[in-house]
Amino acid sequence: MKQSKNQQETPHIDYDGQWKRIIKVFFEPMTGFFMPELAADIDFSKPPQFLEQELAKIMPEQTAKGRMSIDKLLKVPMKNGEYEHIFFHVEVESQLKPNFPEKNFKYFYQIFDRKGKAITALVIYTSDHVPTPHDRYVYNFRGTELIYKFNTYLVRDADEEELLKSENVFALVILACKYINRTKNNFDLRREFKLKLFKLAFERGYPEETIRELLSFILIVMYLPPNIEKEFKMEAEATKKIDKPFSADDFIMDYFRDYFVGRWGDEVEAEVEEKIKAKVTEQVKAEVTEQVKAEVTEQVKAEVTEQVKAEVTEQVKAEVTEQQTKARTESIRKLILSGAFNPSEIADIIGVSLEEVSKIKAEIDAQD
């Protein structure tokens, strides 16, 4: 083993951003992988709403730090049942945080307070170290007790053979995380695992778009030093025996830079980084625009609904009042025409003022 290859300083990898993206693009297979019973009840013909701004309001302390944790809050349409939609909170934890279950409970009751009762939560622990307990928050003080349990998945406990057998594309996402943990100090072994996942992505027969999204995730999170990355690229090209040709898409330019320039120079790297930033900025703007449109539409609908309700209520009240007045007037007229009661007695019987009875009597007298 050439230790010099493994002593390279690892650059900052945006694991948070990659997890947020992969949850969004693979929402259906992700739900089917972790929570198949829930997936069976979701109406995937309607896209879920990713409530990023709502999550920022619920987690202001994360926003204040300049970044969000790997959290997603989704409004998910259901096929049928008690609820038209539910709220699905997904969180990915890559570090050991002893107080995490309590934090997760606080997020739950804030979502519950803002959104209602139909809430489920999933925590994906990608680290080998997890808090104890990892799937619940327990509160007990002087006879007041509360147990909050949530769905969890531990990458460390996932069976590699079962993941390899799974046809669900998200199994390869989990394998990538498992291999990263296993190769923290061995980039040569990581190269072998990365090549293995590269080949599996094509061998499984996934659609081209699915392959592209999966490889984008794997190529970024399974970091290799430039010289070992070059070896990986050469091996990938040499062993590629698939029906579909390897797509030289934008992400190939981004993550196999040496393929195009023959070296990893600062100048080339800076140029590619600018292209990546521009592309990401455009994608983020598009996503935020759609989110804002959806939220504004819902807000306008709510305001218009309240306005229409108020107008209809006033209209109905006016109609009822008019009908009651007509009925009362008709009763007074009948009593006057009967000649059996004087105006004062009629006022007492009907429960109106003597002035109103006298006015109606005057109208009758004028007609005669």
User: Is residue 30 one of the residues assigned to a domain?
Assistant: yes
Give the residues across from 71 on adjacent strands. 91
Residue 318 lies in a domain: no
pLDDT value, residue 183: 94
**What pLDDT score does 251 carry?**
40
45 phi and psi angles, rounded to 5 deg: -70, -15
Provide the pLDDT for residue 164. Answer: 95
Residue 242 binned pLDDT confidence (cut-offs 50, 70, 90): very low
Percent share of the chain, pLDDT over 90:
31
Give me the domain span that covers residue 173: 11-283
Q: Per mean pLDDT, which of 79-83, 122-126, 317-321 is the most reliable?
A: 122-126
Residue 219 and residue 182 in contact, taking contact as beta carbons nearer than 8 Å? no
**pLDDT for res 264:** 41
Q: Does residue 15 sit within a domain?
A: yes
Q: Indicate whether 325 belongs to any domain.
A: no
Task: Kindly report the length of the chain.
Answer: 368
Report the alpha-carbon distance of residue 133 to residue 100 in Å, rounded. 10
Is 313 within the bounds of a domain? Answer: no
Q: Is 77 exposed, middle or buried (0-12, 13-18, 19+ CB in 10 A)?
A: middle
Give the count of domains, the chain.
Answer: 1
Instruction: Tell me whether residue 187 is in a domain.
Output: yes
User: Which pTM value belongs to this model?
Assistant: 0.64
Q: Which two tokens stand for residue 81?
A: 């049942």
Residues 6 or more apart whose Cβ sits within 8 Å of residue 89: 71, 72, 73, 74, 107, 108, 111, 119, 120, 121, 122
Domain membership flag for residue 155: yes
Burial 142-154 (b: 16+ CB within 10 A, else e): eeeeeebebebbe
Query: What average pLDDT does range 191-197 have in this prediction?
Result: 93
323-363 residue pLDDT tens: 888 888 888 888 888 888 888 888 888 788 888 888 888 88
In the chain, the N- to C-terminal Cα span, in Å, equals 120
- How many alpha carbons fall within 13 Å on the CB side of residue 321? 6
The closest alpha carbon to 201, from 222, 183, 181, belongs to 222
Is 80 exceeded by the pLDDT of residue 281?
Answer: no
Number of other CB atoms surrounding residue 337 within 10 Å: 10
Least confident of 96-100, 227-231, 260-264: 260-264
123 φψ region: left (φ > 0), alpha (ψ -120 to 50), beta (else)? beta
pLDDT number for residue 243: 42
Q: Is residue 235 part of a domain?
A: yes
* Tens-place pLDDT, residues 1-53: 444 444 455 666 778 788 988 999 999 999 999 999 999 999 999 999 988 77
